[in-house]
Structure 1
Amino acid sequence: MAAEVQPLPPIRAPPGPAPLTPDQAYWRSFKNQLLLPSPHNAAITSITTPDYNPAGAQADTFAATSGGRVQIYNGKTRKIVKTISRFGVEDTARSGVLRRDGRILLAGGDSGVVQAFDTGSRAILKQWRGEAGHQLPVHVVRWSPKVLTDLMSCSDDRTVRAWDLTEDVAKWTGVGHEDYVRSGCYLPDQEGGMIVSGSYDQTVRLWDTRQARAAMTFKHAAPIENILALNANIIASAAGSSVNILNLAAGNVEQILHPHQKTITSLAAAHSGTRLLTAALDGHVKIHSTSSWQIVAEGFKYPSPILSCAVIGDDRHLAVGLEMGLLSIRTRLAGQEKAKSREKEKKMAALLAGTETADAYERKQRKKELRQGIQARDRGKDFRGEGADIVITGNERSRQKVLKPWQRCLREGKYQRALDLVFEPSQTQLIGKGKFSFDQEEVLTLLTALRHRSALRAALSHSEEDEGRKLVPVLKWCLHSVTHPRHVVLVQDVLLLMLDLYAEKIGGDWSEGGKEVEALLKKIEKRVRLGVDLAQRARGLVGMVGCLEAG
């Protein structure tokens, strides 16, 4: 028995952009952006989330600091629930952070005062100032992840201090930095009160609050702008436009990342510490994997330099503070919220297009919901007994596909007829800026098959009375594909054969369509010359770039 002859597989153009990776798809789901202006358009210098326990009731709450205010937001509603502005007239608030029970807010200031506020009454519970506190601006304050009453602060007076909420003086002071200390945090999962600080003297120091001197020092190539403890052994420090991954157990720099063009100002962790977010003055937020330290998603681009960044509420919100005074909150919708958002977008598109009124759309949605409810109920039934279909498997036979007319002509060796049929008017397609009445995929498939069979010459050879009219659609396809890099080789073969067959008649009398053929040939020549000119310019530009790189 002879084998069944299968039709030619269609030739499809190579895909354009690569498919999205799981990380790219995940971070692109943060679409529902809310832009909130800060009071007096002051820059958002800090966005902090408390170090909550797993059962914390305030897991979505976060604090944003701008100018002389600290605003507390509810992550579920994305609205302000408290505003604390009890700072001096000329003072600027810094690094407002909530305690993990949400009852006390801690903040520093340019006056050097560290203050603790009751979030319920906004009353000042404690102040550390004067000789008992810092003498210069305090840019960083943090609560201890272990003890509710312990906190730390970093100041421009080059000191790092640990405090007890019940005492008036610092219980420990770290001296050793030679410039401003603008970043710091507690080391997680450590019982001894380990603190990490970063300074403009280009060093990161590890402190044990039971000792006076730094336990470990890492030298960098630029001032330290931010520090993030990913776990008890791995620290990420932002120095200039690079991020240094410090391994405390090994005592060395494990990796150096260069994801941005400008200074990196903020670091944040997501996915339970498996992803590292970097934000910089170039307005970009980028996401890195903490296993390979490669960029897994480009993140987002903002219209202003970024000063602060945080991931909130179990990776539900991405909050970004901009220098222009805007707080951007992007929310990742999931489940029913995602479905409702999609339906809302469809409704708005239908109303804007004018295809449906609001009442008609609502009626259509109610019918759809009713129909889906009936189908879901029927799927839950268990059909048994009489009337059940009996299906015998193992003897299936695939249905043979019906060949199109041009495919039958190609199989029978009628090449001219196959070429005429594939260019017959069908569903209009848009290619570039022109409209075509043929299928681009079928044209590519047929011309490629003819070239493989050495039958292009036979297909393009027409009688004298038909040659002008039959060549017009072929030349139109060549005109719009000659500069396409994926089709240029095939177009070249077709045009060379046509010139070889009809060179003597160009400029002479054609029976029908001759003038249009000559006009199309001139357009093709003009487009080819333009493409060659652009290619030569690009070649020269590549050479200039090479010289710049060499210099």
Structure 2
Amino acid sequence: MSHPIQKIQPSKFPSGPSPITPDQRYWKTFKHSQNLSCQSPVTHISFPPPSRNNLQPSNNDSFVVTTGTRVQIYSIQTRKLIKTITRFSDIAHSAEIRKDGRVMVAGDDSGRIQVFDMKERAILKTWDEHKQPVWTTKFSPTEMTTLMSASDDRTVRLWDLPSQESTTKFIGHSDYVRSGCFLPGTMSKMVVTGSYDTTVRLWDPRIATKSAMTFRHAAPIESVLPLDSGTTILAAADNQISVLDLVAGKPLHIIKNHQKTVTSLCLASQGTRLVSGGLDGHVKMFETSEWNVIAGAKYSSPVLSVSVVASGANQEDRLLAVGMQSGELSVKTRLRGKEKAEAREKKKEMDALLEGTLDMYDAKNKKRKRAEEMTKKNKEAQKNGIGQSSAVQKVNIEVERRPVPETVWERDLRQGKYAHALDAVLEPNLPSAKVFDVFQELRYRNALKIALEDRDDATVVPIFEWVSKYLPYPQYAKTCAFNTTHFYGFCLPEVASRDKHTTSSKLLISNHAHHRTVRYGISTSRERCPTDVSNVVGFTIMLT
């Protein structure tokens, strides 16, 4: 039996920088966009936070959307509308689900705060202490019966579900209070709020008449968001996002990547990414160490609310929900595991249907399923210890090796016809990497001089043109420079001495073009690195 033919191994070049970063690739996995129409602008999107108590697991199978005078509840798994709560006398604001998923709270423009039973949609509690619209309502992350509210009456209040009145009233803002929330972790009893008086204030329930800390900005505060550490707060003011350090009592960084007012902030990837939406129609993602933009998306209408909905035991990002001024709700889903495979198969089926090859696709799919079933049966038989006497037997079959297809230049190289191999690979339609591989093989065999001997100007021109064309490419530069020394060393002098008066104009043009390429490379190198580049390009002495 003859030894199998060894093919020329293709050269491996260093991989350049990837056109997209891992973060961009991650956010591109949010596909399968579903656009839902609402009758009014979508002002708020939320989902129940994860429960830290194993005895009270989080029922995070739904997320709520506040739009107009209604609150719509959607399924995270199916993205379908489950329930609608319409028991509001005016425009609703900031509907939030408690972490156990059983209770929801929302405010409205009448100043009323209502608490609903998620299952029956019944009103469990109503408070009317606020005299102007209530824009923010939030449940405490640690206490199941405690919640806060912020209103245009310039007050911030704490509530207890069993009581009929507010337990604490914070006074200090001089304008509308449009955003607020509890701090996480060990500081969960403290409240942070943002107001149109351009201040972000930190409140301690033990001192209701005075804020514990105040940060002043140059524009009204639209949204505040604490990081999971509890010592850093993000505040959106105009088109900027301030990163505030509670320990140092000063701003750490100011993000200036939006063109218009930032309206919404949320965290993603378990608190390691910040997502912002603005009136410029952009949703931008930031990393939380240097606060650089890592990804983004453009929407057709000003963005009023954005939320990255997480689900599962590991709280993995599942949905990217964006609410817009036009009343459109965009929901993008990040598929995982089996769902991704099913979506891929569905896309293949639709492509086959459009191309008219559905029968071929079905036949291939049935064949694949039969093979999977046989593999499964074989594994089960081996697991159960069925031996050679059973229906499942191991048969050793020696598969005859098919001869490896050989290209023309590979055959010429194997037969020692180096000049013919070089001529064959220089066809116009062949990729440059193939020519490079042949030059490398000739150099490895020390046969480049043999391949260039006894040539006239007609056979030299294609080689010369290829070298001149790919000399500026870094991956080919070393080989092209090596080949050029051979051309100027013995190939071109041989042609010129043999055909002194008949040298073609095409060869002369190629020679001049090669000189221009080398001169341009030298001048560019000297501009970028003002040193002697003659050592780098050793053959430049030929230009004189």
TM tier, smaller? 0.7 to 0.9
Unpaired runs of 5+ residues, structure 2, are 1-5, 395-403, 529-544
Supply the distance in 1 between the matched residues of 2:276 and 2:116 (Cα, whole angstroms): 30
Supply the distance in 2 between the matched residues of 1:264 and 1:14 (Cα, whole angstroms): 42
Aligned to 2:325: 323
Unpaired runs of 5+ residues, structure 1, are 1-5, 390-400, 425-435, 540-551
2:420 is equivalent to residue 417 of structure 1? yes
Q: For residues 192 and 329 of structure 1, do their structure 2 counterparts lie closer, same or farther at Cα, with a shift above 3 Å needed?
A: closer
Aligned to 1:193: 189
Aligned to 2:216: 219
- Return the offset for 1:489: 8.5
Corresponding residue to 1:156 among 133, 152, 159: 152
Supply the distance in 2 between the matched residues of 1:114 and 1:503 (Cα, whole angstroms): 96
Pairwise mapping of residues 123-522 of structure 1 onto structure 2 (< 5 A)? 123-129=122-128, 132-135=129-132, 137-190=133-186, 193-212=189-208, 213-231=210-228, 233-240=230-237, 241-248=239-246, 250-253=247-250, 255-256=252-253, 258=255, 260-262=257-259, 263-290=261-288, 292-293=289-290, 295=292, 297-312=294-309, 313=311, 314=315, 315-354=317-356, 356-357=357-358, 359-380=359-380, 381=382, 406=409, 416-423=419-426, 436-447=428-439, 463-464=455-456, 467-468=457-458, 470=459, 473-474=462-463, 477=466
The 8 Å contact of residues 263 and 303 in structure 2, kept in 1 or not, is answered as: yes
SS of the counterpart of 2:191? Answer: strand
- Return the offset for 1:238: 2.9
Q: For residues 451 and 43 of structure 1, do their structure 2 counterparts lie closer, same or farther at Cα, with a shift above 3 Å needed?
A: farther
Aligned to 1:69: 70
- Return the offset for 1:348: 1.8
SS of the counterpart of 1:316? Answer: strand
Supply the distance in 2 between the matched residues of 1:166 and 1:245 (Cα, whole angstroms): 36
Q: Which amino acid aligns with 1:78?
A: R
- In percent, how many aligned pairs have the same letter? 41
- Return the offset for 1:195: 0.8
Supply the distance in 1 between the matched residues of 2:346 and 2:36 (Cα, whole angstroms): 23
Question: What is the CA deviation profile of residues 503-531 of structure 1, one whole-angstrom value per residue up to 9, with x for unaligned ones?
Answer: 9999x988xxx89x589969x89x99xx9
Count of aligned positions = 487
2:30 is equivalent to residue 35 of structure 1? no
The 8 Å contact of residues 49 and 98 in structure 1, kept in 2 or not, is answered as: yes
Q: For residues 211 and 121 of structure 1, do their structure 2 counterparts lie closer, same or farther at Cα, with a shift above 3 Å needed?
A: same
Q: Which amino acid aligns with 2:373?
A: G
Supply the distance in 2 between the matched residues of 1:70 and 1:37 (Cα, whole angstroms): 14
TM-score, length basis structure 1? 0.72
User: Over aligned residues, Cα RMSD in angstroms?
Assistant: 4.6
Supply the distance in 1 between the matched residues of 2:86 and 2:388 (Cα, whole angstroms): 76
Q: Which amino acid aligns with 1:372?
A: E
Comparing 307-316 and 475-484, the one that deviates more:
475-484
SS of the counterpart of 1:217? Answer: strand
The 8 Å contact of residues 479 and 520 in structure 1, kept in 2 or not, is answered as: no
Supply the distance in 2 between the matched residues of 1:371 and 1:195 (Cα, whole angstroms): 61
Supply the distance in 2 between the matched residues of 1:500 and 1:332 (Cα, whole angstroms): 62
Supply the distance in 2 between the matched residues of 1:413 and 1:257 (Cα, whole angstroms): 68
Pairwise mapping of residues 2-21 of structure 1 onto structure 2 (< 5 A)? 10-18=10-18
- Return the offset for 1:161: 1.5
- Return the offset for 1:406: 4.8
Pairwise mapping of residues 528-539 of structure 1 onto structure 2 (< 5 A)? none
TM-score, length basis structure 2? 0.73
Supply the distance in 1 between the matched residues of 2:266 and 2:296 (Cα, whole angstroms): 13
Supply the distance in 1 between the matched residues of 2:270 and 2:166 (Cα, whole angstroms): 33
